[in-house]
A and B are shown apart, each in its own frame.
Chain A
Amino acid sequence: MARKSNIGLNTGEELLDGNENAIFNKETEGLSQGQIILKRFVRHRAAMVALVFFTTLVAIVYTALDWRIGDPRNPRFTIPGWWNYGFEDTPELLTEGCPEGILGCPTIDFVPFVDGDGVQLGQHPFGQDNIGRDYFALVMRGAQRSILVMFIIGLIATTIGTIVGALAGFFRGWTDAVLMRLVDFIITIPVIIIGSVIGFHFGNKGAAFLALLLGLFSWTGLSRLVRGEFLSLREREFVDAARVAGATNRRIIFKHILPNAIGVIIVSVTLLMSGAILLETALSFLGFGVTSPDVSLGLLISNYQDAFTTRPWLFWYPGLFIIAIALCVNFIGDGLRDAFDPRQRRRLSKKDKENAREMQSRSEMA
């Protein structure tokens, strides 16, 4: 067995190492690192379901409404969406099928054969708001904004967090000290307060601009993680080997260390993104995020919080979308985390063992 290569694992694992490795090698024969990770990810059932669901959701949300290129009031040309209404249209408020005294209730029907015409969307599946705007269109628009905000925050935070963390972890010394004190400084201010201030001053400049500024303040956690990873990776011998080969610092950071830290980065970014969607919602709810006439999921909830008792669907549907998106991203992140962790091995369930026994006895009989 290896003389000094196993330090750091716990004993049980250590003792098993020789055999486990042999078997593990069998499992990974002829596969590249990327392929192994992909294989493990595909095997993660919850993550795969979440991924399919999320992709479908994004496709539906982004194709529902018209895309207007150029000035929104007077567009140069329009890509039509599949839904009848835009989020700014104000059709007549319908009362059909609603309880007495209530306008614009949802026409969606999940329950077949009870009353009505069975499963159908109807004219306004999610109902209408106070002035008759189609609530389905509003939720679609809100979800578009929320997902956009999520991706922009994710992108900016990843870039800054990775670079700051990599520099701090690789160079250590005063570079590390200065960068980490900057991180400390940003961490001490609650994100919700930073967000409120930004939203208050720049909320009218649109969701994308808001996301850009929020991204500038949400990279701190990631940079700490990347720094930690770099601190340990830079001590590995392949870094010394690269240095002896004559590699420059830049090459060592980007070609040798960063690809090895990519697992940590991807995982923490997915978690950061699901956090980002909640941050945007919270800010909009407080009135500091996306401002009307634009719409976001948080803003919808905030606008109709008084309607909860009489017209609860104005609350349900945006809430449902927030939960669905955040959950999906979390599940995908969870699957990625498992896939990137090389020590993660599938545990055997009793069923697996029984199946195997059955298979073997069958093959013995044959």
Chain B
Amino acid sequence: MSDPVLQVRNFTVEFWVDGSWYPAAVDMNFDVQAGKTLAIVGESGSGKSTTAMGIMDLLASNARMSGSVKVKGSEMIGVTKSQLRKFRGREVAYIFQEPMTALNPVYTIGFQIVETLRTHFDMGPKAAKARAIELITLVEIPNPELSFDKYPHQLSGGQRQRAMIAQSLACDPALLIADEPTTALDVTVQAEVLDLMRGLRTKLNSAILLITHDMGVVADMADEILVMKDGLTVEHGSSDQIFNKPTHPYTQSLLKSVPKLGTVKQRAAIDNKKQPVIKLTDVTIAYPKRGRIPEFVAVKDFNLEIFPGEIVGLVGESGSGKTTVGRAAIGLIPIKSGKLEIVGKDISKATQKELFPIRRHTGIVFQDPASSLNPRLPIGESIGEPILLAGLAKGAELNHKVEELLQQVELPRSYRNRFPHELSGGQRQRVGIARALALTPDLLIADEPTSALDVSVQARFLELLLELQDKLKFACLFISHDLAVVDILAHRIAVMQDGRLVEEGDRDSILKSAKNEYTRRLIAAVPVPDPAEQKKRREARLAAK
């Protein structure tokens, strides 16, 4: 075997915090060969990004590194900044998670690619432009000539990520470090970007170091896998070995907690003879025009009913209007036309005051637990607020209720006095549920409650939600971009595209025999944590093209 492009030996990264060195990645050993992909997998805080950033010394000034990192045989640790700069971009290129922030918004993408080219090569402006257009063509952005002069905000999320990739490929790097390259993208776009990266790997024979938390992406891309936990290497092996015969218990539990499509039994249908908890009839929701920005219709002619005790999953890609539906359903956004009924009351044109009694019957869990809890209030106060404002309890009685709610979501009672920043993401989201359930609502809206959580935390969270729903029998509108999650929970699934409901039906009919073309594409694009299965689907996808 030839020399590896990247060779990492006894590599340790530590951060200086409050008078002591706090290790973030300990004793890492791995090689990446040309034309191969090594995936570093782990949950947030496991040190996977730190390792990737450490390779090119891009860490904050309170970090220190030891051990050895060799790129094409040259040592990277302990060399001067100017020597490092020669390798950055030229031999090692990065693809960042958020293409909107990684591209400079005031320059065109063409300019940014040309800039990279001319920093590293002695190249005239015309030659650089020609090469840039070539690169843009390579990453399959439509109309390369025109796209050259486009600004990042004029491109879609997937195209932006492609432009990022084009920029990082500008110097034919030997090593490509992709740090969660598709996390910010929708599944269908993610599948395309992954296809592109795989194609480039074979075409350019680069080595790829892929950092991700998504086991589906790993199954799709990786030849070799390294699993990290709390800064330590837990398991290291070939893709086949890790997925099919994981030896370490952490890897096993990690794989087990990844939701898989179609592995749970269809939940029994809910009696739909009763009066629905929420009924939307031909609802249209529009964001009113502001200044010169014209009115934007986010949801059009939307129909949905949810019956008591039923969980309905609402799926769609970003921008499809699913969050807007959720917010309107709870009266946070007024609807433009149509009819919206909650527990038999028409709130289509309700004023804020008329909505107060409705609030007692509804609860909402927000997407981002960090932003949905007031950082200046102890969580006990956040949870108790609905009860207090409804005038149901005060003082000691309220405290007692709050403790009960905390227990219900399996948090210690003493957490009542803690502040949101003292809790982990999963714990915060439980507080979110406790607050939403404080008034034992008839309807719970869950707006992507698991998208900010790690898979193992997500698995536990979904279990808890199912248990609570079983006990309290509330109706639930579960909004998610992740079909696999919806699959576990929902009795029925509704699919949205561009503000319209494209398909609705019970779980099996949607997942197994979707009639709508968009739904089928959505299902096909969901990555499955199984390399063999992924290969099959990839081929099917290519054949369909």
Query: Which residues from chain A sit less than 8 Å from chain B, CB to CB?
Result: 1-12, 14-16, 18-23, 25-33, 236-238, 240-247, 251, 256, 259-260, 345, 347-348, 352-353, 356, 360
Contact = CB atoms under 8 A, between A and B. Distances in A.
Contacts of A259: 374, 376-377
B140 interface: no
Interface stretch (B300-308, B357-365, B491-499): B357-365
Given A19-B49, A242-B374, A28 B422 contact: yes
Give the most central of A1, A9, A260, A348: most B CB within 10 Å: A1
A19 B452 contact: no
B49 A3 contact: no
Given A348-B61, A353-B16, 5 more contacts: A11-B101, A237-B372, A241-B374, A244-B332, A247-B385
Nearest to A240: B332
A242 B385 contact: yes
A260 B376 contact: yes
B17 A23 contact: yes
A241 B58 contact: no
Interface stretch (B76-84, B176-184, B274-282): B176-184
Contact of A246 (B360, B368, B375, B419): B360
Lowest 8 CB-CB distances: which A-B pairs, in order?
A237-B372, A245-B386, A22-B45, A246-B389, A259-B376, A237-B366, A2-B452, A238-B374
B18 A7 contact: no
B44 A18 contact: yes
A4 B184 contact: yes
A33 B419 contact: yes
Contact of B368 (A5, A23, A251, A360): A5
A5 B389 CA distance: 29
A159 B49 CA distance: 46
B537 to A, nearest CB: 22
A356 B367 CA distance: 41
B524 to A, nearest CB: 21
Interface string B33-75: 0000000000011111110110000111110100000000000
Contacts of B375: 33, 238, 260
A14 B97 contact: yes
Given A19-B15, A32-B419, A14 B101 contact: yes
A241 B359 CA distance: 11
Interface residues of B, number: 69
Interface of B: 15-22, 24, 44-50, 52-53, 58-62, 64, 96-98, 100-102, 179-180, 183-184, 213, 327, 330, 332, 356, 359-360, 362-364, 366-368, 370-377, 382, 385-386, 389-390, 419, 421-422, 425, 432, 435, 438, 451-452
Nearest to A239: B374
Contacts of A19: 15, 24, 45, 47, 49-50
B422 A15 contact: no
The SS class assigned to the A binding surface is: helix
Contacts of A360: 21
Contact of B366 (A23, A33, A241, A352): A241
Nearest to A32: B419
Contacts of B452: 2-5
A4 B452 CA distance: 7
B426 to A, nearest CB: 12
B483 to A, nearest CB: 15
Contact of A353 (B24, B64, B360): B64
Contacts of A236: 371-372
A27 B24 contact: no
A203 B372 CA distance: 51
A23 B59 CA distance: 14
22 contacts: A1-B49, A3-B183, A3-B184, A9-B101, A14-B96, A18-B50, A22-B45, A23-B17, A33-B375, A236-B372, A237-B371, A237-B372, A240-B327, A240-B372, A241-B432, A242-B385, A259-B376, A260-B375, A347-B61, A348-B16, A348-B62, A352-B16
A260 B419 contact: no
A30 B58 contact: no
B389 A15 contact: no
Given A5-B452, A19-B50, A10 B60 contact: no
A154 B71 CA distance: 60
A247 B385 CA distance: 8
Give the most central of A3, A251, A347: most B CB within 10 Å: A3
Give the most central of B184, B377, B432: most A CB within 10 Å: B377
Nearest to B94: A15
Contacts of B421: 25, 28, 33
A356 B63 CA distance: 12
Nearest to B61: A348
